[in-house]
Amino acid sequence: MDTEHRPVRGLPGRPLALVLGLAGALALAVTAPAAAVAPPDDSSALTWGQTRVYDDGLAVTVARPSAFTPSDTSAGHRVGHQAVAWKITLKNGTTEAFKMSLVSVYAKYGTAGERAERVFDSAKGIGSDFEGSISRGRSATATYVFDIPKAAVGSLDIEAVPDIFDYEGTHWTGPLNSRTGPS
């Protein structure tokens, strides 16, 4: 039997299922109804402690950042850098439970807006994202830590996106040791 020149057969319908699955995901991303979100009144970023309230009532607050000392078992932290922690609070003022599985948080630093690496530290409970959902009228808070070169802690930018399909992201900017605005 000549098996060397025989075509290899995959599972029947597998390529079709993959194409249909991708097409469905793209259609969902394009046609999913967006939450009633108006762009911010001002194109400038918020400062630490300020709250962005979306038209549907969801509110996001980023507290003043603080220096964080990672444990010896942390990942993402480099010697000579400063780990910086932000507490982010979501308050659900919408008419139904808000699912937090698609919350995304990004950090940048410096005038060039270089991407900061996320720090994970299970010994100190750092690295868990928002999980589950928030009931109407309730809040949830998570701490995000990013690794920043010490020379760049004067120019920080964190972006929080409540749901990557339905909400625009909002930026909060300022230095690590800012004393402007509430915390």
pLDDT tens digit sequence for 96-132: 999 999 999 999 999 899 999 999 999 999 988 999 9
Residue 181's region, left for phi above 0, alpha for psi from -120 to 50, else beta, is left
Give me the residue spans of the domains in the chain: 35-174
Which pLDDT band, with edges at 50, 70 and 90, does 182 fall under? very low
Please determine, for residue 3, whether its predicted confidence score (pLDDT) is greater than 70: no
pLDDT tens, residue by residue, 130-177: 999 999 999 999 999 999 999 999 999 999 999 999 999 999 999 998
- Residue 3 neighbours by CB under 8 Å, 6+ apart: none
Q: What was the pLDDT predicted at 128?
A: 87
Q: What was the pLDDT predicted at 43?
A: 53
Q: Which helix (H) or strand (E) holds 84?
A: strand 81-92
- Residue 125 neighbours by CB under 8 Å, 6+ apart: 143
Q: What was the pLDDT predicted at 38?
A: 38
Tell me which of 178 and 79 has the higher pLDDT.
79
Fold of 35-174: Immunoglobulin-like (2.60.40)
Compute the CA torsion angle 33, 58, 133, 136 (nearest 10 deg). -110
pLDDT tens, residue by residue, 78-88: 999 999 999 99
* CA distances, 174 to each of 103, 117, 170 (Å): 22, 18, 14
| Residue recorded with tokens 């010490």 | 150
Residue 56, token pair as written in the block: 């549907």
pLDDT tens, residue by residue, 42-70: 456 999 999 999 999 999 999 999 999 99
Closest CA to 131 of 163, 161, 103: 103
